[in-house]
Amino acid sequence: MSPPDNSSGATATLETVLARMDEAIELLAAAPAFSKTTKLARILDTAKRLMAMEGGCAALESRIQALEEAGVFLGSDWASPQILVPSMTTHALQSPDPNTVVIEALSELRMLAVARGDYLHPQLSVEQAHHYLTQVLAINLAMLFTPPSEAERATQGRLAEIPRRVLRHLAERIGYEHVIDQLIDEIWRILRQRPIQVDPVKQMITQIAICRADPNIDLGASGHGAERLVSSLFAPTNACRDDPGIETFEERLAHLDSSALQSEANGFARAMHDTGLASPYHAAFLRYLRGKADHLLADALGLSNTGRDCLLCYRELVLALIDEAVYPQTAQAVYGLSMMLERGILYQTAVAPALWRQIGLPLSDWAADRLYMAFGDTIPPRRRLLEGVLMMLGLPLGVGQGNNPTCQSARALSMWSFNDPDYLLQILTWGARDDEVIVHFEGQPVSSHSALDGRPLPIDLDPVSLILVPHLDHIYNEMGRMCIGREGDPHRWVNPEFHGWWVGRGFRINVDVATGKLVNPEDFLRHFYAYYHPYYNGNQPLIHPQPAGIAVTDSAARFIGWHAIAIQRVALDTSGEMRVYFFNPNNDSGQDWGDSVKVSTADNGEGYGEASLPFEQFASRLYIFHYDPLERGEPGQVTQEELDECIGYIRRSWGAERLPSVEMQASQGPEG
């Protein structure tokens, strides 16, 4: 007896499911608008089954116009494809909710049909759809090439295979060569911000290297910009040009003369400062120099005169930091050390002794377990934490909040690293050694001890944040609780007590806490100009970063939520436009907030980690700011044209539903 024909059986199964889909589409199309949601469950369940089958994605692609016209996206965030943001696709595709995964996948198939010219969409051009898909593939490249992680398997189960099937279908139809070019651009855009957490970027670069080496993937003429990225990690200098492995590289170093060692030092420094990434070979090289030729350390770190002087003055401390923190497994410590020396913060009296304490700091069991859980056991947790310390002290604007729902703690860590590094090292000592941080709110001690009582804690953070964020979140929330019953927004009292003495005690908010309505925005804006705009504050530069709150909007200028940022400085950019430069505690500050408000992270005078906007655009998204009431500007000199421009941005975005009360309140005259 011959075996059954499995291929025909599989085809019959696909045909059966497709017949069900066609029937479901007809039912959805015929249903009136108010009852379409009752028909949608069958569509999504059938689509999920099809996406798990060979040929299912192609079949759905051919039916996507009929699906949309029937109303599959009606009433959802996917109903307006022209405003969808590629960076949001990762969260949707990795959602534990099957319906979210399926509707996102159908949206990508719609984009594919438009990009290939098979679906003439009234809201999308072929070029727009193609550009969107290349960004989606670039951002989700790791999902495209790697199996589900343990976390994905735990949260999504078998559902985790569906995004991968859809992404592979997109890549095959669009072409891998488009993906690689877009990915390279995306990596450079992120690296220009110099984030502390670079593991996702390193994974993307590794995927590029794999693609380039795979004979089955035709990259065509794409990938020209990849060489600098791939070589920065795997082959930055002549001695490791063939990526020989750490042991072979160390053997080669022993046979290099002084001229060759000098060349290696210059090559490593050039590659590191070009990308912000340190190769494991660089860490091995620094450890070799520490014992054999430490006169080349300054060259290998790429230091300027400031960094060299700092290295010479604190030579023993720097050597100890290399001994304890710099290993191939902690290669980014090299870049952190270099940038810390460049900042010159070791000249602050308390920083060097605090770092000596950090080097020998015993960790609590809780802190050690947290570091093991997040980073594995390839290196002791104490050294992993020391790498994180060097990165945060070297790149104070590189800290991000991960998926942690609060942003105040990330902002505080950045501000302390930027402005008060010895305080940062002090609270880290308390958190990592004692499992408790105590600060004071208006003279009353606030302890974080109960923050560790069995609740789920964020894990996708840098080493310092991993230890401190649970403590800081708890303290910030407790301070807010202590303000219950006070009139107005609790940030008025919490921010100065939590962040530090340099936070202005003056406080303005343009939103009524109880109703969410805007209150006299012209007066609010007039005073913001007076305190922060150099033309109206006597040309007084901002001395210390100040916490502020913004109303975040999406690319359609719709209100998303409130967000904590820090205003770093206000200055003219290279084209003569006044801009606000600020720290946004996201790992990627480049965002489109709609109505032509696009946050810049490079090419407008930004330093590493800074975001910026023209003054009037930033002011239009601001709802809270602090100031020094003793340093008064000239609010009366702010022109009505400037105020009207800001109000226009507000009216067209987050203030659309909040402004009616303004007309009534404006007639009552300005506040105090």
Q: What is the pLDDT of residues 208-240, one digit of tens each?
A: 887 777 776 666 666 667 888 999 999 999 999
Which pLDDT value is given to residue 220?
Answer: 62
Predicted pLDDT at 152: 67
What stretch of H or E contains 265?
helix 258-275
pLDDT tens per residue across span 160-179: 889 999 998 998 888 777 67
Range in 14-18, 207-211, 498-502, 645-649 with the lowest mean pLDDT: 207-211
Strand pairing class (622-627; 438-441): unpaired
What is the pLDDT of the chain when averaged over all its residues? 89
Give the residue from 259, 329, 343, 224 showing the smallest Cα distance to 287: 329
Distance (Å, whole) CA 11 – CA 6: 9
| Element of type H or E holding 611 | strand 611-614
Closest CA to 355 of 405, 319, 331: 319
**Which string of b and e fits 434-469 if b means at least 16 CB within 10 Å?**
ebebebebeeeebebeebbeeeeebebbbbbbbbbb
Q: What percent of the chain has pLDDT over 90?
A: 68
Name the token pair of 509: 């908010």
Surface-to-core class of residue 424, CB atoms within 10 Å of its CB (0-12 exposed, 13-18 middle, 19+ buried) = buried
Say what the alpha-carbon torsion angle 608, 614, 616, 618 is, to the nearest 10 degrees: -30
Tokens of 3: 């075996």
Amino acid symbol at 274:
D
Task: Indicate the residue type of 163.
Answer: P
Which DSSP string corresponds to 72-137? TTTTSGGG-GGG--GGGHHHHHT-S-HHHHHHHHHHHHHHHHHHTTSS--SS--HHHHHHHHHHHH
Tell me if 527 sits within 8 A of 508, measured CB to CB: yes
Q: Alpha-carbon Rg of the chain, whole angstroms?
A: 28
Mean pLDDT of all residues in 530-547: 95
Name the strands in the sheet holding 578-583, side by side, starting at the edge strand that comes first in the sequence.
506-509, 622-627, 546-553, 559-572, 578-583, 611-614
**Residue 510: pLDDT over 60:** yes
Going by the DSSP 8-state scheme, the letter that residue 4 receives in this structure is P
Rounded Cα distance between 567 and 35, Å, is: 48
**pLDDT tier at 181 (50, 70, 90 boundaries)?**
confident
Instruction: Give the separation between CA 317 and CA 300, rounded to whole angstroms.
Output: 17
pLDDT beyond 50 at 467: yes
Residue spans of the domains in the chain: they are 6-174, 235-347, 348-482, 506-666
Q: Look at the alpha carbons of 123, 125, 126, 127 in this order and tell me if their dihedral is positive or negative.
A: negative
> Six-digit token pair at 146?
């790697």
Q: How confident is the model at residue 662 (pLDDT cuts 50, 70, 90)?
A: very low
| pLDDT of the residue at 10 | 44
- The pLDDT of residue 665: 39
At 367-424, the pLDDT tens digits run: 999 999 999 999 999 999 999 999 999 999 999 886 566 789 999 999 999 999 999 9
User: Per-residue pLDDT averaged across 477-504, rounded?
Assistant: 94
pLDDT of 82 higher than 70 = yes
Chain-centre distance of CA 522, in angstroms?
Answer: 33
Q: By the 8 A CB rule, do 142 and 207 touch?
A: yes
408-412, 486-490, 603-607, 611-615 — which is least confidently predicted? 486-490
3-class SS at 513? coil
Of 4-8, 167-171, 607-611, the range with the lowest mean pLDDT is 4-8
Q: What distances in angstroms separate CA 1 from CA 4, 9, 10, 12, 110, one per listed residue?
A: 9, 17, 20, 22, 46
Q: Is the dihedral of CA 608, 536, 631, 539 positive or negative?
A: positive
Is residue 391 within 8 Å of residue 196, measured between CB atoms? yes
How far is 121 from 124, CA to CA, in rounded Å? 5
Q: Given this model, what pLDDT does residue 2 score?
A: 37
Question: Rounded to an integer, what distance in angstroms lies between the CA atom of residue 151 and that of residue 159?
Answer: 13
Yes or no: say if 338 and 301 are a contact pair by the CB < 8 Å rule: yes
Give the side-chain half-sphere CA count within 13 A for 666. Answer: 11
Q: Which tens digits make up the pLDDT trace of 263-287? A: 999 999 999 999 999 999 999 999 9
Identify the residue with better confidence: 287 or 32.
287
pTM beyond cutoff 0.85: no
Region of 222 on the Ramachandran plot (φ > 0 left; ψ -120 to 50 alpha; else beta)? beta
Q: What percent of the chain has pLDDT over 70?
A: 92
With a cut of 90, say whether residue 555 has pLDDT above it. Answer: no
Per-residue pLDDT reduced to its tens digit, 91-136: 899 888 999 999 999 999 999 999 999 999 988 888 889 888 988 8
